[in-house]
Structure 1
Amino acid sequence: MSQAPHKQCITGVQQIGVGVKDLQVSKLWYKKYLGMEVQVFDDKADAPLMTQYTGGTIHSRHALLTLNIAGGGGMEVWQYVSRTPVPADFTPVFGDLGIFGAKVKSDDVAASYAFHKAEKLNVSELLTNAKGDKHYWLADAHGNLFNIVQGHQWFRAPKAGNHMGGIYGAVVGVSDIDRALKLYRDVLGINEVVYDVNGKFTDTPDTPSAQNNYRRVLLRKAGTAQGAFSKLLGGVEIELVQVLDRTPKKIFENRYWGDLGFIHLCFDVIDMDTLKKQATAAGFPFTIDSADSFSMGQAAGRFAYLEDPDQALIELVETHKVPILKKLGWYLDLKKRGVEKPLPNWMIGCMALSKVK
C-alpha cells in the first residue's frame, strides 16, 4: 500500500528570533536598515514553557515582533529581563552548527547593497552564489549576520530607498545535510532544490571559511494560497551548509535560548495536529507544545518547538488571534474564521498603521 502524501502544513516564515542586549536599540536598527517598521506585539512576561532551554529556571523576557509590510516574515527581538544574555565564547564561522544567519529578501539586491554601503554599515562585497544570483552579507551592530538575497514574491512594493523586504529564511549549519533534509525538505516541505554543490566558495561572509570545503544545499518553497497571512509571508528559502574538512562548533553550545544571536526560526502553521504527527513519524518529535492558545501581548496562538538533527530550534506557530488595528481595539479571531483562508489585502494592510517607535 502506498503511503499517503504529507499535508503541507507550513505557509511561510513567520519570524526569526534574535536575542539582544538592548531591545530598544536593536528594534530601531532593524526598522531603519531592514524596513521592520510594523509592530505586531510588545510583551513583557515570564517564559514558563521554555525551562528545558533556559537551565530549568523560569526567566522573564521582553519580546517585540516587528515586520516589513512589503512581504516576508518578521523579527522577534528578544531580551532577557531576569538575567544578562550571554554571547558565544567564539566567533561563529560559516558551517558552524545552528542558525548562522537570517535570509532577508530584496527586490533589487544591487540597490539594497548601495543603500547599506552608503549608510557605512558592515557589509561584504556584492557576491554571486552557485546559481549565479547576486547576494551579500550584512552584519548588525552586534555581529548578527543577514544574507540579503533576491525575493520572488511580494505583498507590496518595497520602499524605493532601501528595496528591502522581510525575513525569507535562514542559513543553517548542519553536520549531515542528508539527515537535515529529512526535516527541512520532507517534513517542513521546503522541497525545491535550487542547488546542491560541493567545493570551496568565495561568497562566504568570513575569510577563514573560504579555505574549507563545503556541501551547500539551497532549498526553496514558493508561497501558497493557504493560510491567513500567506499573501504577506510569501515563499521560504533555507540554505543548509555542511563543512567537510573541519569539525564545526555548535553556535549555542552551553548557552540558553534567548542568549545573544539567532535563537530560533519560526514557521507559520495551518494544521498543528497534523504537523505534529508527521514530524514525530519522521523522528522529529515536538519538544515543547503549548497545546492551546498562548498569549503573546496582543497576539495569541498555539506554539511548539522541535529540534533539527544538530539541536537548532525550530518554532512552529498556529496563530489564533492577531491585532489588525490596535488603536481601535480590532483583533481578529482566526479560530472562528479559520486559519487556512487568506486574509484580504486591505485587512493585512491595516497592520501597517501600527508603527515601531
Structure 2
Amino acid sequence: MSLPVPVTFHHVGITVSNLERAVEWYSKVFGLKPGVALEVSGPSGERVLRLPPHIHRAALLPVGDFAIELLEFEPTRKPMEMRQDDVGYVYTCFAVEDLDDVYQRLTAAGIDFHTEPLVAEEGQIAGSKFCVMRDPDGKTIELVELGPGMRVPALHEAAAAGVDLSDPLIMDG
C-alpha cells in the first residue's frame, strides 16, 4: 500500500468525568443527542486502547457528517491540567451561522466565554468570527462563524494551490 491513505473525518473522542452530565450539557447547549451508547470492558478494549483492565462507557453524538464521542473510564484517573500551548492538546470547534446571536443566548444561559466574539480582519480568514468557552470538564470549545476563506471548499482550494508555512498571516489582536 502506498501513502498517503485517503480518509474522511468520523469522530473525535473526549474523555469526561461524568458521562451523563456531559451528555446533558452537550444536549442542552448544542442540541446534540446520543446516536449510540456503549459499555466496553475486557481484553478487546484493553488491547485496542493499550490500557490496563478497565470499563469505559461512551456516547457518540452526531454533529452533521461527524460525531463527538464522550467517554467515561472506570477506574477514574486524575484530570489533565493541560493548556492549549501544551503539545498534544486537542480542542473542538463548532461552526455556527450567527455567532453574535449564539454568544448572547449562551451567555444569557450562564455559559462563560473567554471573550466576546472577535472578528478576523485580514487574509484568508477575514470575516470569520471566533470565541472560546469551556465544557463542564474544562475542555476548550471554540465557536466560529465562518468567513468565505474559512469554508471547507476554500480551504481545499488553498491547500491545492499550496500554503507556505514560512509566510503565515500575522495576527495581533
The normalised TM-score by structure 2 is 0.74
Counterpart for residue 354 of structure 1: 161
Aligned counterparts of 1:203 and 1:288: Cα–Cα separation in 2? 40
Q: 1:264 aligns with which of 91, 114, 118?
A: 91
Instruction: Give the letter aligned to residue 250 of structure 1.
Output: P
2:32 aligned with 1:190: yes
Structure-2 residue corresponding to 1:200: 41
Q: Which residue in the other structure is 1:294 paired with?
A: 120
> CA separation in 2, counterparts of 1:194 and 1:303?
28
In the alignment, the residues of structure 1 paired with residue 12 and residue 150 of structure 2 have an alpha-carbon distance, to the nearest angstrom, of: 26
How far 1:307 sits from its partner (Å)?
A: 0.4
Which secondary structure state, in structure 1, belongs to the residue aligned with residue 76 of structure 2? coil
Provide the rounded CA distance (Å) in 1 between the counterparts of 2:146 and 2:14. 25
The aligned runs of 1:1-357 (5 Å cut-off) are: 115=1, 162-165=5-8, 167-191=9-33, 193-200=34-41, 202-203=44-45, 205-209=48-52, 211-222=53-64, 235-244=65-74, 246-251=75-80, 253=81, 255-289=82-116, 291-295=117-121, 297-300=123-126, 301-322=128-149, 350-356=157-163
Q: 3-state SS of the aligned residue for 1:181? A: helix
> 1:323 deviation in Å?
7.1
Give the deviation of 1:168 after TM superposition. Answer: 3.9
Greater fraction of residues in helix: 2
Deviation at 1:314, TM superposition (A): 0.5
Q: Distance in 1 between matches of 2:138 and 2:79?
A: 9
Instruction: State whether residues 56 and 73 of structure 2, in contact with CA within 8 Å, keep that contact through their aligned partners in structure 1.
Output: yes
**Cα distance in 2 between the residues matched to 1:305 and 1:267:** 10
Aligned pair count reads 161
Post-superposition offset of 1:258 = 1.7
Secondary structure of 1:298's aligned partner: helix
Task: Please list every run of 5 or more consecutive structure 1 residues that lacks an aligned counterpart in the other structure.
Answer: 1-114, 120-160, 223-234, 325-342
* Bigger relative contact order (CA 8 A; separation at least 6): 1
Q: State the partner residue of 1:102.
A: none
Unaligned runs of 5+ in 2: 165-173
Structure 1: 4+ residue segments shifted above 6 A: none
Percent of residue pairs bearing the same amino acid type: 26
Say if 1:292 and 1:199 are closer, same or farther in 2 by CA, change over 3 A. Answer: closer
SS at match of 1:258: coil
* SS of equivalent residue, structure 1 residue 178: helix
- How many Å apart are 1:282 and its aligned residue? 4.5
Residue 187 of structure 1: CA displacement? 1.9
Shift, 1:275, TM fit:
1.8
For 1:168 and 1:269, how far apart are their aligned partners in 2? 19
On the 8 A contact 1:305/1:313 being kept in 2, the answer is yes
Deviations for 1:74-128, whole angstroms, at most 9, x for unmatched residues?
xxxxxxxxxxxxxxxxxxxxxxxxxxxxxxxxxxxxxxxxx5xx77xxxxxxxxx
Query: What SS does the corresponding residue of 2:28 show, helix, strand or coil?
Result: helix
- The whole-number CA distance in structure 2 between the counterparts of 1:168 and 1:283 is 31
> Can you list the C-alpha shifts for 1:191-223, whole angstroms capped at 9, x where unaligned?
2x22213341524643325x112221111133x
TM score, norm. by length of structure 1: 0.39
Query: Relative to structure 1, is the Cα distance of residues 170 and 316 closer, same or farther in structure 2, using a 3 angstrom cutoff?
Result: same
Structure 2 counterpart SS, 1:257: coil
Q: Show the counterpart of 1:130.
A: none
- Look up the equivalent residue of 1:197 and give its one-letter code: L
Q: Which amino acid counterpart does residue 27 of structure 2 have in structure 1?
A: R
Give the structure with the larger strand fraction. 1
